[in-house]
Structure 1
Amino acid sequence: MTDLDARADLDTAAWGAKHVHDPTIVRDDDGTYWLFSTDARSDGPVRGGVQIRRSSDLVTWEFHGWAFDGVPAPAAAWSGAHGLWAPDVVRVPTPAGPEWRMYYSASTFGSRRSAIGLAVAPHPAGPWADRGVVVASEHHEPPEGLTQPNAIDANLVTEPDGTQWLVYGSFFGGIHVLPVDPATGLVPDAPAPGTLHTAPGTLLARRARTADNGAVEGAFVLPRPGGGWALVVSYDSLASSYHVRAAVGDAVTGPFRDRAGRTMSDDGPDVDPWSIGVPILAGHRHAGGPGVLAPGHASVLTETVPTASGPLERHLLVHHVRDADAPTEHRLQVRRLVWTHDGWPLVSPQPWAGAAREDDDQACWPTDPAVLEGTWESLAPGAAPTRVQDGVVGELSPRSGVRALGEGRFTWTADDGATVSAVVHPGWDAVRGRATLCLGALDDAGRVTLATRLP
């Protein structure tokens, strides 16, 4: 079932990071990065089987082929899918040695008759062997269909003690989580395909249908520094108003709450569905640069990297974007994910520029409050998350009581009395082609500012 050679009828040599949708990245022992993504193209028919690319620097990508020669038979038989969506790839230890596992989604647009399958390989390049359907869902019309999960968008989460969970779901039924047997990668005692809707697991997030039909999908759960977990999800239409929100919780099974303490599963009639979750990334345009439309379906690459201060953990948000001036064009984007002093995830306003232009040594990140002075180009992802927002040039908002907490972390009081937690780190201004400082800030009302220091 493996076909890793680019076919002659597709000119994949020039694809690079183009045609990437719903991406995830892993790193092999030799330092090579492997990118897996949905079977999607903006310039022609889809060839099914999960796209694979490789890179040495997370900036330049080479198309490597497909994991499968089409959709594996069990998933195709249940879903009728002609392509695979949103692969999640992880490395797990087994008695026979490390094994790579891929959870892929098989479905069709507008249907919730879907399946999440599992495949395994000795190496990210393959060969990938299918192990069949892990969980499946049936399509139900309203009202029942509005509460049942859709078995797509898998994310495998492993706790420090080895306990594993499958986070999954999309749109109406919301995001759910099920236990996974680490030995097999399967859901223990899973019902037959088509009956999962009677036992979907624990609900993590759901929105009221009044907001783009309740769109919430592409969930990714990762550990917070100091304990607990962060949930990253995408809201709204993937073609236009897609954007990324976050929440935190004490357990993988939730509840996950935003900065104001609201649960991500609160979809009651009196709840504003636009108010839930902390918007951390949305469409934007830096002055003089291209417009970024509908960023979303994010995963997080976590890796230990060497620095002058010793090995440190680096987190990179991996997601797709569309070109604001050509909305059908979609491609990969990677950007640094940072944590405030109290464990909230924020992302860089600038895309990742490669190790030679980035500085992972947090001991060298700014500690003097004076770095907050001067001129910045700021974005507010939550101000208008469904449109492409232009950067605003000026000074950061008035503040008092600035405290430096070390390693780029700061707090202060804004002019409206809100407490702000911020991270300032070195970055690369992609529009102006220069080293700079980047800032992510979150106040206790859940408002986020992303800013780039200007000359």
Structure 2
Amino acid sequence: MKNEKLNILFRAFAVFVMLTLAACSSDSPTEETREETETPETPETPEEPEIPVASKFYTVDNINDTYADVAGIANVANWGPYNVHDPSVIKVGATYYCYNTDVSFGSEVRPGIQMRKSEDLINWEWIGWAFDGLPAKGAAFIKNKGAQPFQSLWAPYVMQVDNEFRLYYSLSSPTGRLSVMGLATSDSPEGPWIEKDLVVTSEPGGPLQTNAIDPSVVVTPAGEHWFYYGSAYDGIYQLKLDPSTGLAANSGDKGTRVAQRAFTNGIVNGNIEGPEVIYNEQQGKYYMFIAYDWLQTKYNVRVGRSDNPNGPYYDYNGLDINTEVDNGPMILAPYRFDGHSGWQGVSHPGIFKDDSGQYFMAHQGRPGENSFYMVLHIRKIHWTQDGWPIVSPERYAAVDKTEITSADLVGNYEQIILGYSVTPGYADEQRFPDFQNSIDLELKTDGSINDNANDVWFYDSPWLTLNFGDGAFIDKLHVERGRDWENKIESTILFSGLNNEGTAIWGKKIN
């Protein structure tokens, strides 16, 4: 069985540029090689590099699905929302900061964790790399185990603790499960970042099949810090941190498992990784957002919730997500509206909120026309009446909020039902994204749906209810105004929600 998500370098040709992609994990570990043991060196404070000046300002009208015109390291200042994978976002004052995996379409990967900032969640300004190469302690750990680390850092997580900013990183190797997560700190979200120490490590062998990749942290109302991580192998783990240091409360602690996947005929149903846990004060619960499946194709987002930071976390059907079951709800998956190539690889969620308490999800999107491009997507998160998160079917575009009446809802829509087909395996098996395609939907003036008088809709702002088959399927949908990105329409009506079986339902009005 393939053990770890294929990361390192994907090579393909796009038009006339060669693409090298370093993604977030590896699934083809090679045999270990032995080297002389190395001792970590105290890194010198790097000289401040000259930051290139951007010539492009991004708006909703000039963000494209592909970006060959600015691909490659020579155009790094103009990457903006492009070349983003595994984003972690934090708001500091009036500014949002994004940190992400080392990736590049059109040039060799430059390790160091990419950093961007934005005032509006649309135009992202490049501000450089967090590190000048690989962090010394993380690289030394892998070399001391007889392997060479990958020349890329993956899946950072950023947080602020009082006046200190903490940046967690992942570093792995071709040796299966030989990985490390470390911590760097700064007094500014723009750095400089100083590596402090290692938080969790993993290596082949041992009683726990952990994989030290994809860190995230939640802070409880009582001030406890809980750390979550994991990619493939034995699932998602959690352990307690020392809030004063950001390191493990008990040195060497690998934690305990809190989430795993199902098996089909003895084969793992793809990947589970990228946990992101938040505490929602209004709901009074902890929510774990998890990435399922292969990052380039079927990547999708699942959610579990708990009353406690260390679990158990339960899914929509009340099942513990730490059992051999594929859990729901699945609130984001590869999708395709009419007239568009679709978006795949839409996971590794980064959850954050603004000053008003509005939650957002950041993630990468890979266009169906060429899945090696990686574009930053930001979506609003809403909460169902029974406390489950749902995401907007369209990317955030700062569309004005105006009243939506029942009369406004009458008309034609493109609807997407986020279904799922089980395809056990990893990159070689999950070569197709399983796009969920839009279908036609019409809400009629008389309250019926399409041409069936037995299917009815009603509206109690902001919730739209679609009742099919006298209650066989009941969709509870949050209504809002948003941009139709596929048709370049500034404002239309969007809806998203769950039906009575926990399946996510999306839609946008097209007239």
Q: TM-score range by the shorter chain?
A: 0.7 to 0.9
Q: What residue number does 1:346 align with?
A: 390
Select which of 293, 314, 318 maps to 1:236.
Answer: 293
**Aligned residues of 1:441 and 1:450 also touching (Cα < 8 A):** yes
1:296 alignment partner, SS class: coil
Q: Is the 8 A contact 1:88 1:103 kept in 2?
A: yes
Letter in 1 for 2:500: D
4+ aligned runs moved over 6 Å, structure 1: none
Distance 1:384 1:358 in 2: 37
- 2: CA distance, partners of 1:212 / 1:37: 27
Q: Which residue of 2 aligns with 1:175?
A: 236
Match of 2:191 among 126, 130, 149: 126
Mapped pair 1:285 → 2:336 = yes
Instruction: Give the share of equivalent positions with the same residue, in percent.
Output: 33
Q: Please say if residues 218 and 279 of structure 2, whose CA atoms lie closer than 8 Å, have aligned partners that are also in contact.
A: no
Q: Distance in 2 between the 1:229 and 1:373 partners?
A: 37
Distance 1:5 1:156 in 2: 32
Structure with higher Rg: it is 2
- For normalisation by structure 1, the TM-score amounts to 0.85
| Counterpart check, 1:20 vs 2:84 | yes
8 Å CA contact 1:6, 1:66 repeated in 2? no
- Among 91, 94, 111, the residue aligned to 1:48: 111
- Equivalent-residue separation in structure 2 for 1:277 and 1:9 (angstroms): 39
CA RMSD of aligned residues (A): 2.4
Alignment: residue pair count? 417
**Residue 350 of structure 2 is aligned to residue 299 of structure 1:** yes
Q: Is residue 84–residue 105 contact of structure 1 (8 Å, CA) maintained in 2?
A: yes
How far apart are 1:253 and its partner, in Å?
1.4
More off after superposition, 244-253 vs 417-426: 417-426
Equivalent position of 1:374 in the other structure:
411
Letter in 2 for 1:451: G
- Range that drifts further, 436-445 or 315-324: 436-445
2:498 to 434, 437, 442: 442
Partner of 1:216 in structure 2? 272
TM-score (norm 2): 0.76
Quick one: distance in 1 between partners of 2:363 and 2:137? Answer: 28
CA distance in 1, matches of 2:263, 2:164: 40
- For residue 153 of structure 2, the aligned residue among 81, 84, 97 is 84
Cα deviation for residue 119 of structure 1 reads: 0.6
CA-to-aligned-CA distance 1:74-125 (integer Å, 9 cap, x gap): 10112323221111111111xxxx1110111111356211111001111111
Structure 1 residue aligned with 2:439: 392
Residue 44 of structure 1, CA deviation: 2.2
- Residue equivalent to 2:446: none
Q: Which range is displaced more, 253-262 or 329-338? A: 253-262
| Structure 2 unmatched runs, 5+ | 1-44, 53-71, 143-148, 423-432, 444-448
Aligned ranges for residues 112-261 of structure 1 at < 5 Å? 112-140=177-205, 148-191=209-252, 199-210=253-264, 214-224=270-280, 225-261=282-318
Q: Is the deviation greater in 130-139 or in 286-295?
A: 286-295
**Residue 9 of structure 1, CA deviation:** 6.3
In 2, distance between residues paired with 1:172 and 1:111? 10
Report the AA paired with residue 76 of structure 1.
Answer: A
Given the alignment, which residue of 472, 477, 481 partners 1:426? 481
Aligned to 2:136: 73
Per the alignment, in what secondary structure is the counterpart of residue 12 of structure 1? helix
Say if 1:114 and 1:209 are closer, same or farther in 2 by CA, change over 3 A.
Answer: farther
- Of 350, 367, 376, the residue aligned with 1:323 is 367
Cα distance in 1 for residues equivalent to 2:278 and 2:269: 27
**1:259/1:444 contact within 8 Å kept:** no
- Structure 1, unmatched stretches of 5+, are 192-198, 305-311
Aligned-pair distance for 1:209? 4.8
Structure 2 CA distance for aligned equivalents of residues 335 and 13 of structure 1: 24
Deviations 1:136-191 (A, max 9, x none): 11123xxx78x611111011101122111001111111111111111111111212
